[in-house]
Each structure stands twice: as structure tokens, then as C-alpha cells.
Structure 1
């Protein structure tokens, strides 16, 4: 019983040190399956920048170290080691060059795997050559330094925000290399082999804790910056990154991309009459309805105030209208007086509008949303002035029957 309490206390202490308070937070550290696009992009950017830094340094230091080999090791051995040093330096230089490309999580993982693979392979080959020579004194000391290479690389994992699954997959080959190279040939070598493997495991544990702690901190910071506190939607800043990414993906694949620009009708009257708390309730309900209605893979952004943008990857104008029809049928919640929340919606599509950047798409959708407001609100305005009306709302006279604010219509959205 006491042992269970002790284990439970240790688990709670470890969880709190990593900032884990829910099962979802724990799952985020185990695998990246629930990581959002902003998190994946930010993590890829960090990983590639650090891979570039390390590979650039190793590309210089690895061949420079041959000067030490030249001073202390036999000439024939030095030439053999120089060859593999040149090959390793070339590999590091290529990895550094690839790390300068656009951040991508898959690319970042492959580059990290490549960086971690070069050093163990270098160690295995160099150790094979070193064993072929009878080294003594200073020569033996220099040779022993090669055995530290796997430890250096496993310690380097502390600088990368990795999930537990990723970290173990990267560490497993290096652990195998250490175990393989530590297999005792005689009974007297067993203590040395055990201590080597134990030291590697200890460093791996420290690297695991540091990497997960870094990932947990990064997740909390990115979530705080990327998601609106009130609605839980993407913030404008994160939304801009998403728009830029989706636009580039669309232009590369030559597919469709539609966006919706929504502005809640007469929202100012809710704040003026019922207060901002009531307005927050309306905004939150509208956001939840949008997320529940759009397609899987679509992104909803709180663009500002009561304005929202919905990104519809691969959606043609007709498919965008289908999404709008679902939004209108499902509704966006109720105002404090029990009436429906409606929105004026503008549509833009990359091919139909011949948009040359995502900013043009947003400007076109914004303009059409404004046109929808002028023509009576509670409707969408699409390409070629096509319209969809909110159910149960007439085509005209909406302002007269619906507005609660005696101020002129131009004074509110």
C-alpha cells in the first residue's frame, strides 16, 4: 500500500513538472496525432533551425579534428579516418543545406534521423579501424574519445521538442550501437560494458525529460498564441499562417480553394442593449456552430470582433455554397431576445477569381460580405453576384423587422 502511494506521488510530481493535468495533455506528449497545424509548423521550424546549426558546425569540426588525429595517431590510420571524416562532413553539409528549406515536420524528422545516423555510423567504422591497431598512451586516449560520439548525440536530443514516440525511435538505433560496441570479449570487461550502457541510459532519461518538458512548454505557448481564448478558434495571426500555407499548397497542386468571410448581423445591438457578456455568449455559440457545421479539414478563424473566416481547401464555388447552406440551416445560435443570429457572408475562390495571393482572396470575400450587408444582410454574396438567403428571412425589409437598435443602420454591423 505504501509502495502504491509512493508510485502515485512520484507520478503526480512528474506530471506536474511537465505541466500535464489532463489525459489529452499526456497524449500530446506521447504522439503528435492530435497536434494542430500551427503546432506542427512551429515544431518543424524549431527542429530544422537547430538541425542546420548543428550540421553546419559538425561539417566544419569533423574534418578539422583530423589535425588532432594527425598529431597523435599512426599515419596510415590517420588517412583511413580522414576519408570517413570527409564523407561525414559532406553528409552534414548536405543536411544543413536541406534544413534551410521550408519548414515541414516530415522533412524535419528525416533530417534529424539523418543527422543522428551519421555519427553512429562514423563511430562504428572508426572503431573497427581503431581496433586493428595496437595503440598506447596518448594514442589510446585519443581513440577513446571516439567512443563518446553516441553520448554526444543522445545528449543533443535535449534541444529538440520531440514526442516520446519520436524520441524513442531516434534513440533506439544509438542504444543498439552502444550495446553492440560494448559487448564484452572477456569476463573482466563485463563491469565496463554495464557501466557504459547504464551511463547511456541515464543520459537518455535526462534527454527524454528535457525534450518532453520543452515540447510541453512549446505546446502551451503556441496554443495560447494560436487559439482565441473566448471562442477556441484560430486567432488572426495563426489564421494568416494557415491561409498562406493553404494558398501555397493549392497553387502547387492546382486545385481549388474557397474562403468564406462572415460578419454577424446587428451584433452591436447585442452589446449595446444586453452588455458585452451577452455578446460573448453569442460569439461563442456562433463559433461552436461554425466548427460543428463545416467540413472536416476546414479551418475557422476569428478574424476580429464578430468577423470570421472559414478556409475551405479543395472547395469549388458550388461546394462552398453547400457549406453555406449547411451553416444557414444549422443556424448560428440565438440572440438574447430569442431571435436567430444571422450573418452576411462573402465568398471567394482562387481559380474563379484568378487570385494571385491569399490577401486578394480575403479582400474579395470581404468586399462581397459588405455587398451582402448593403443588399439586406442574412445572406451570402458569391461569384457573379450569386446569393443564398438565410431561411425564414425575406429578401428585403430585414432591417426594419429585425433591428433592435434605434440608431441608423450604418452605425452597426
Structure 2
């Protein structure tokens, strides 16, 4: 038991696993964020494209070797399935150039991995029908390596354990089926073949999971703000671009909220940046807790936040704003409620052509809300919502500002 525990710790450390959540992330993608899923999909599709493009050339080209060493009837039979396989690879390569999507990437990888085992099963059936010897037999035995090549190829894909088992199980079944001994003397060969395949599969699983773990750490570091845990501006731009295109494709509404915390500079000036960091973290946590499932909150910069509301019409955006206002964004160090000025934009009601215009429009409305007294939102058709504690909060905040200005002058 002690040996197994030490082995588990060593394996966990080699994969960079230190918490149950990190282990769960390697088992399934249910907890993976949108940036991670998109990044995985992009990597998987680009590598599927590369392999399919290569195989589309190499598979039919190999027929020249078959022509030199195999009987003509057998060469003609193999040429047919080689051409069909090449056509299938070309189709998969073409599909892999489309917009990255995790489900599409999985099916493309499944398609690529299924072509070779099917090719092997058909070719093995035809090869068994001929009496081959010498060089012919050597060429024929090379076909048996195809499943091994494909299982080794899994090392280049960042896959979860669940996905790896899904892709590897059919290939393992093909190897076991093709290795079943016909006579007792074939048993050692069958056992060694299955053992070798299992060994390569184990290496592939370890390499793929290690690649996924590294990718998760890098994407999380680049996509999430260290202070607030929200999406960074860079990751948020990718999300905005994706959601905007999805909105246009499905002709569905899409709203964004542009929030700027009121009088935040005075918190840093009077109470210090540590106190300001606490205010930012609390506001970010409150936003995350209040928005709908499927919405995205971005730290746009400093004390500015953007909330993406997919499928939300202006009235639904107002519902989210009301929840934010009533839940609050925490308290300032002086005990006053934290409020924000909010600008709203919606793709259909505002008839915008790109997400950058949406941002500019929401930013302009946020700035107008600040001019009109802060602690309020300004939306489509100048629709205005006031923070429930607007008067009290602004009075306390303005008092702090005045006291700070007096202190500076003296």
C-alpha cells in the first residue's frame, strides 16, 4: 500500500496534479472554461488537418511499393481502398479548416482514427487470401503496424482521460480481434502484440494528459485575471468576438454591460491600494454570483468590467442590472456601498455591425451615466435604472473626496 501511495504521488506530481479539481479536469472537460475548450478545439483541428493532409498524400503513394512487391490482383484491391481512404482524409482535412469547435474537433479526430483501423481490417482480410513469402510477407506485415501508428498519434492531442478511452477502445478491440490465435502456437505472438499495443497506449495516455495539464495551466494563466479571477481583457475579446458571431449566425439578441466603479480612485488615494484590491475582488465576486449561467464577466481594465449576456434582449439585460444593483458590489472601507455607472448596448436594438462598436456605445453610455450623477445604468433608448442606495452612496463618496482634497491642500 505504501508503494502504491508513493507511486500515485509521483505520478500526480509529474502531471502537475495537486488538488482534486485538477485531477477532475484531466478526467473530463465538464469544468473546462470556454477559453480552454476553444483552445483545445483549435489545437485538435489544426493537428487533424496536418495528419489528414499528410495521409491523403502518403496513403495512395504507398501503392507504388505495393505495385513493386505484391501480386497484381492484390495491388488492385488495395489501390481501391487506398483511394477511398485518401478521399476520406481530404474530406476530414477540409472540415478541420472550419471554425474551431470542440464537438467538431472530437468527431474529426474520431473519423481520422477510424479510417486506419478499417483500412487495416479490410486489407488484412485480402492479404490473408494470398500465399505471400519473402519480401511480399514483409510488406504485408507492415500493414499490421497501422493501429500502433494511430494510437501513438494520440500523444499529440490534449485529451481528457474520458476522451482517450473513447478513442483508444475501438483500436484496442481491432488489435485484439486481429490477433486472436488460430492455433495454439499463435498464442505467444498474440499476447506480445496485445501487450505491445497496451504499452504504447499507456505511454500515449500519459503524454496526452501531461500535454493537457500544461495547456490548462498556460491558458488559465493567460485567460484569468490574478486579482479578481475574472476573464482577462485578451480572453474577453475572444469571447466577445465568438458571441457576436454566434448572435449574427442565429439572429439572436446579445447584450453587454460596461461597468465602472464609482469614486474608486478615492479608495486607492485615501485607504491605499490593498484596500482598493479588496474592493475590486469583492465587486468581481458579486458580479460572478449574480449574472446568469452562461454569461461572462471580464475585467476590462482597472475598475472597469464588461458583462457579456448572450441571448439577452434589452429588458433581460435590465433584469440582470436590477439583480446586480440589489445584490450590491460590496462596501467601501468607509462603509459606503460600492456602486457603479453602467452602460448597456444590444446588437439588434442598436443595429451594430461589430462588437467593437458595441463596446464603444456601451462605454459612451456609461460615461453619460457618470455625468448624470453616477450609481445608475443607461441603456437602449436612454432607458435608465438607479441604484437603490444611489443618493446615500454618492453623498458618502463625495464627502470622502472632499475630505481628501482638503487634506491634500493643507
- Superposition TM-score tier, normalisation by shorter sequence: over 0.9
Cα distance, 1:75–1:63 mapped onto 2, change above 3 Å: same
Distance 1:188 1:137 in 2: 21
Match of 2:29 among 29, 32, 37: 32
Distance apart, 1:402 and its partner CA: 2.8
- In 2, the alpha carbon distance for the partners of 1:306 and 1:90 equals 54
Instruction: Give the Cα separation in 2 of the matches to 1:400 and 1:107.
Output: 54
Shift of residue 248, structure 1, vs aligned partner: 0.9
CA contact (8 A) 1:235 1:303 kept: yes
CA pair 43-401 structure 1, distance change in 2 beyond 3 A: closer
Could you tell me which residue of structure 2 aligns to residue 404 of structure 1? 400
Cα drift, residue 393 of structure 1? 2.3
Runs of 4+ with >3 A deviation:
397-401
Match of 2:238 in 1: 241
Of 276, 281, 306, the residue aligned with 1:279 is 276
CA contact (8 A) 1:258 1:313 kept: yes
Q: SS where residue 181 of structure 2 aligns? A: coil
Q: Determine whether 1:142 maps to 2:139.
A: yes
Deviation at 1:394, TM superposition (A): 3.2
Query: What is the CA–CA distance in structure 1 between the aligned matches of 2:354 and 2:97, rounded to whole Å?
Result: 23
For the residues of structure 1 that align with 2:171 and 2:382, how far apart are their CA atoms?
62
| Structure 1 position 68 matched with structure 2 position 65 | yes
Aligned-pair distance for 1:405?
Answer: 2.3
Q: Offset at 1:399?
A: 6.0
Give the drift of 1:255: 1.1
Classify the secondary structure of the residue corresponding to 1:44.
Answer: helix
- Structure 1 residue 398 displacement after superposition: 3.6
Q: Distance in 1 between matches of 2:129 and 2:169?
A: 28
SS at the partner of 1:310?
strand
Paired position in structure 1 for 2:200:
203
Indicate the residue corresponding to 1:411 in structure 2. Answer: none
- Could you list the per-position Cα deviations for residues 173-209 of structure 1 after superposition, in whole angstroms to 9, with x for gaps in the alignment? 1001000000000100000000000000000000000
In structure 1, what is the Cα distance between the partners aligned to 2:366 and 2:390?
17
TM-score by length of 1: 0.96
Aligned match for 1:345, one of 342, 347, 350? 342
Aligned residues: 404
TM, length-normalised to structure 2: 0.97
Q: Give the deviation of 1:392 after TM superposition.
A: 2.7
2:247 paired with 1:288 = no
Change (3 A) 1:403 1:56: farther
1:49 aligns with 2:58: no
1:309 corresponds to which of 306, 314, 325: 306
- Matched residue, 1:17: 14
Q: Pick from 348, 353, 367: which aligns with 1:370?
A: 367
**SS of 1:405 mapped into structure 2:** helix
> What is the CA distance between 1:403 and its match in structure 2?
4.4
Residues 305-353 of structure 1: CA deviation (Å, up to 9, x unaligned)? 0000001111111111111111111110011111111100000011110
Question: 291, 294, 318: which one pairs with 1:297?
Answer: 294
| Aligned twin of 2:93 | 96
2-structure distance, mates of 1:154, 1:257: 43
| 1:385 Cα offset (Å) | 1.4
State the secondary structure of the residue aligned to 1:302: strand
For residue 379 of structure 1, report the CA deviation from its aligned partner.
0.6
- Can you list the C-alpha shifts for 1:48-87, whole angstroms capped at 9, x where unaligned? 0000000000000001101110111111111111111000
Contact 2:241–2:355, Cα closer than 8 Å, also in 1: yes
Are 1:384 and 2:389 counterparts?
no
Whole-angstrom distance in 2 between the partners of 1:112 and 1:269: 54
1:259-287 Cα shifts (integer Å, max 9, x gaps): 10000000000111111111000000000
Root-mean-square deviation over aligned CA pairs:
1.3
